[in-house]
Chain A
Amino acid sequence: MNVRSQISMVFHLDKCIGCHTCSIACKNIWTDRRGTEYMWWNNVETKPGTGYPAKWEDQEKFKGGWEKQNGKIRLKSTGKGRIVTNIFHNPHMPSMDDYYEPWTYDYQHLFNAPEGPDQPTAKPISMVTGDYIDIESGPNWDDDLGGSPVYGKNDPNLEGLTEEQKLQLFSIEQLVFFYFPRICNHCMNPACVASCPSGALYKRGEDGIVLVDQKRCRAWRSCIAACPYKKVFFNWFTGKSEKCILCYPRLETGQAPACFHSCVGRIRYLGVVLYDADRLEAVANLPKEQLIDGQRDLILDPTDEHVLEGARKNGIPDSVVKAAQESPVYQFVKVWKLALPPHIEFRTLPMLFYVPPMAPVMANRKNGALNSVSDNLFHDIDDARVPMRFLANLFGAGQEGKVAYALRKQKAVRWYRRAVTVGDVDLETAERMLREADCTIKEAMAIYELTSLCTFEQRFVIPPMYREKALEALRDPHEVKQSAGFGFLSGPRRGM
């Protein structure tokens, strides 16, 4: 066993209200520079929808992630042999048209316009060229099913749905959507890292954050095609790749990442998990149906004696282990099995997990009257308005069972709490539901608490990261200061 620690995340989709506060928080801190205007390290998508960049999930097109070949996994887009041909022109890289051309408005014109018969208006101008442009798409133009014939109907997750189910997704009074906020998953088996010819991308050993070394990146662009989530972006101005850094400067000072901190729906959880790095490769190579369980299995129980010993052997500080024991992520993912990885079939083993959203059909219109359809305890879960198949394509590697399990448990917890607090459903039924959903009363209470009553400290269990100590151990910081100051001194700029 080779115990490693990793900062991992859970997004509770049932709580996301699609407000984009997270995206704005991120943009204001990190991507408001030249060359990064089009990047949204955090973006919020409406599902069904094609997302940002358009159709990122379609790996026939973008060739992101890993695939199995001759019993081993290899990158879909590149590799040691293929890099030679891909380096001049990357055939799978999205272009700016797949994202959108960033724009602003020519506000100055409102003040400078010559006198005329008409009131001036600020025309849209491109943030790349500064020329007037006709805006044709934006990063979230599929919001709330806006433009659904263009976006929603082209969602790659609709694969395998019956015509009837598709109709249900898009017909008036039936249609349904949910929000899907995304950041880099800081994967256990990152395709971006494995693809970089320069070795500029790396995973930090202590906390698993995946970063791009800006000094080593030479714009070979492999990572952009290789990441199946399209979460590495190319800064067209500096000629370097950039990606979500999980606000590591904030984490290192004990603060939650900006998108987590600002989340209005409080859907975000963050904590440490311990995992076994020795079995990583084997797990990434499992058959598709076993990937979810395999990844759960990689995540180690932070109270187990062997694990603790392994952690000590690998120099993981006790405080980090303690944080792992209190980690909300561990509860959601491993103990309750409520949170599922997005598209684990891409085999990067993402470390951001999603609690699938509930959109149950509570009643049907029959003969002009609404009838409750909830006699069967889980009937409405199986007949959910979002077809189970759709959620399974997104979060279950195609297996409906995994999603159904998570939804059943969520529903049982709600019924139970309803029985306790309102009392209009009978407690016996509620308890039977809990049993059938593989949940104890104690667990139900814990889920309830961490879902609805959670405080800031419960949602974000940030371990001390000891970066300062690591620096001191290597060098006296004052010596560094005198010779070079602190940090990266030459500012990012283009070329020489």
Chain B
Amino acid sequence: MHNDHGVVVTRAVVSARIPPGVCIQYHSPERTFSVPKSPLRNDRRAGGHNSLTRTRLKPNFLAGGYGQFTFHFNYWGPIGCNRDTHILVRKLPVLKW
């Protein structure tokens, strides 16, 4: 999935539950495992943390001393495609790690 905010590469499931032409993305997939590189990013990795919607930090997000923005593996924010006006979905042409 990509738009001018970024690229997300993730696994897709084709199901009779979803009408043709519709995609649903549940969670932001962990970028730390099983995310291949994307030709759209010049063969760089494109995964869950590379949100299609920017997460903008406000100081009070950092309150409380939790690890949400300090520990890299965690991701705090909307899923890759929330609140975007358009997203393009493509099949990854070649699998590259």
Contacts and interface: CB of A to CB of B under 8 A. Distances in A.
Interface string B25-64: 0000001111111000000110100000000000000000
A130 interface: no
Interface centre among B16, B33, B36, B45 (most CB of A within 10 A): B16
Interface residues on chain A, size class: 20 to 34
Given A118-B44, A118-B45, A119-B45, A124 B34 contact: yes
A118 B37 CA distance: 9
Contact of A148 (B16, B36, B45): B16
B60 to A, nearest CB: 27
B93 interface: no
B88 interface: no
B19 interface: yes
Contact of B15 (A134, A135, A146): A146
A464 interface: no
A123 B15 contact: no
Nearest to B97: A123
A175 B47 CA distance: 32
A301 B86 CA distance: 66
Interface residues of B, number: 19
Interface of B is mostly: loop
A200 B37 CA distance: 50
Interface string B49-84: 000000000000000000000000000000000000
Given A105-B33, A105-B34, A110-B32, A121 B17 contact: no
A84 interface: no
B13 A147 contact: yes
20 contacts: A107-B33, A110-B32, A117-B44, A119-B47, A121-B33, A121-B36, A121-B97, A122-B33, A122-B34, A123-B34, A124-B33, A124-B34, A135-B34, A145-B17, A147-B14, A147-B15, A150-B14, A171-B16, A172-B18, A172-B19
Interface of B: 13-19, 31-37, 44-45, 47, 95, 97
